[in-house]
Structure 1
């Protein structure tokens, strides 16, 4: 249990990489949806998607098999997409700043709140930060939360996890100084 606590504590540290956040231009881009079926409630701004989902908004790309999108009165989207046992749900977004820096992840379920810029991946979750297609950071665990505003990762185990199941979280983190200098 101590090992899991140390790993989770290390993952909750803030990472400073300059002023790199989600690409702000994404906020003003239209949402492009593809799926086998789409149900739209324009009054409540709710979209339900089924089968081979592809959602694109600027540099954001989300895929999955069963999805739900809700748009709040301010125009921010909350996206919740699930995969299948054969195909995971996925998320990819370019980050502001360096031309080729991306956050990319997949798992059983992917949720993204555009207002709070919080990405949550659950179920065999994996998240990578890539620069010029080279991995800088890589996390895996049952549930990964990434707050793009504070630039914090958090990996948590399932509520029914047993100490014998350890390690439930794994991280490979690049030294910040080197990653920042190479930009």
Structure 2
């Protein structure tokens, strides 16, 4: 029986961490810095649209895309929509609380909900966990939704159907056991460390 949609607790699915390790909490209170080629701001709707090689940073959060739309609701919560280019997907990266680990992801679009503190990667979505510079785990699917508060994610493989170059209707996962306590972490692969290429979070705020 094929199960195209599933939910896993990241501390279990991502190689059995001993207790939840959430996204960096301090990111919520850090200022948001954005660089882009152009900006269009609508004061009435409280919406800012940045275009052209956009780079957004907020604490440990790094977001990259061809366009980033940021809006804020009356309660001060921020919401973001990141759109990638034809050649380069939208990218998101954030440090995990109290660990030398990072969560990063990609998709043709990335949506951040600052109120729910969730990040949604859509179309050719990927979610990865790095221990230092070494890749630990990797998940791919049509749509991936990651919850920063619960450290849980869901993956929908069927959402990839009809997307060129994507494995339609399938979820793929590569999970690596966590090194035992006190054991040296696996050395990083030979060659340059993974480069930040772009993927949800504007932390407590969004993109």
Q: TM-score, normalised by structure 1?
A: 0.83
May I ask how many residue pairs the two structures share in their alignment?
Answer: 173
**Separation of aligned partners in 2, 1:15 and 1:53:** 29
- Cα deviation, residue 106, structure 1: 1.0
Hey, what does 2:94 align to over in structure 1? 93
Alpha-carbon offset, residue 167 of structure 1: 5.5
Q: Structure 1 residues 67, 166: closer, same or farther in 2, change over 3 A?
A: closer
Q: Relative contact order: is structure 1 or structure 2 higher (C-alpha 8 Å, sep ≥ 6)?
A: 2
Does the 8 Å CA contact 1:19/1:97 hold for their aligned counterparts?
Answer: no
Structure 2 CA distance for aligned equivalents of residues 160 and 133 of structure 1: 29
SS of 2:85 mapped into structure 1: coil
1:57-92 Cα distance to aligned partner (Å, 9 max, x none): 111111111221112233332111111111111001
Is the helix fraction higher in 1 or 2?
A: 1
Is 1:108–1:121's contact at 8 Å kept on the other side of the alignment? yes
**Aligned pair 1:71/2:72, yes or no?**
yes
Deviation, structure 1 residue 45: 2.8
Q: How far apart are the structure 1 equivalents of 2:71 and 2:41?
A: 10
TM-score with structure 2 setting the length: 0.74
Q: Secondary structure at the match of 2:10?
A: coil
- C-alpha contact (below 8 Å) 2:89/2:108 kept by paired residues: yes
Going from structure 1 to structure 2, the CA distance change for 1:125 and 1:160 (only over 3 Å counts) comes to closer
Partner of 1:14: 9
Alignment of 1:40-59 (within 5 A): 40-42=41-43, 44-59=45-60
- Distance (whole Å) between structure 1 residues aligned to residue 44 and residue 160 of structure 2: 40
Does the CA-based 8 Å contact 2:124-2:160 persist in structure 1?
Answer: no
Deviation track 1:69-124 (CA, whole Å, cap 9, x = no partner) reads 112233332111111111111001111111x2111111111112222221111111
Give yes or no for contact 2:91–2:105 (8 Å, CA) kept in 1: yes
Match of 1:150 in 2: 150
C-alpha displacement of 1:26: 0.7
